[in-house]
Structures are given as C-alpha cells and as structure tokens.
Amino acid sequence: MRGVKCPLCDSWVERMTTRKTSEGVTRRYQCANEHRFNTHERVDMRSVIVAAPQTSERMLDDGQD
Ligand SMILES: [Zn+2]
C-alpha cells in the first residue's frame, strides 16, 4: 500500500510487519522519526483505522521543548 504517512509528523514510513487475521490485515509501521503505529485494514469495509501511536521517550522530549 502506497501513500502511508506518519500520523504524527507526516513523514515517510517503513513497513515493519504485516499480519493477516480473520478480520483483515494489520500492518506495523515506523516512520523516519521512529514513531511507531499500526493500521488495521478491514477487507469487507475497505476502511483503514490508524491506532494510537506509541509515543517514545524521544518524542516526549521533543514535546517538552
Ligand atoms: Zn513520525
């Protein structure tokens, strides 16, 4: 799937893993700034839900600035 960007910083992402389940496909991504997030794609509804990103210590440090 092309066009996936980080929901936090809108940077390019690298797909880490893909898991197929009975409900659809779950993909794990990590962006250029090391933000990690998952997408859950349900085949029947063709919808993509972006799960809450896992905040890193680095990101929290940036937020304090
Ligand atoms: Zn990011």
Q: Measured in angstroms, how far is the CA atom of residue 18 from the centroid of ligand 1?
A: 19
Q: What is the DSSP letter of 8?
A: T
The Cα 15–Cα 21 span in angstroms is 17
Cα of 49 from ligand 1 centre, angstroms: 17
* Domain boundaries along the sequence of the chain: 13-64
Q: Quickly state the pLDDT bin for 3 (edges 50, 70, 90).
A: confident
Tell me the CA–centroid distance for residue 2 and ligand 1, in Å.
16
pLDDT in tens, 12-52: 999 999 999 888 899 999 999 999 999 888 876 556 666 77
Instruction: Say what the pLDDT of residue 1 is.
Output: 46
Separation CA 47–CA 35 (nearest Å): 22
Helix (H) or strand (E) holding 13: strand 13-21
| Ligand 1 centroid – CA 58 distance (Å) | 11
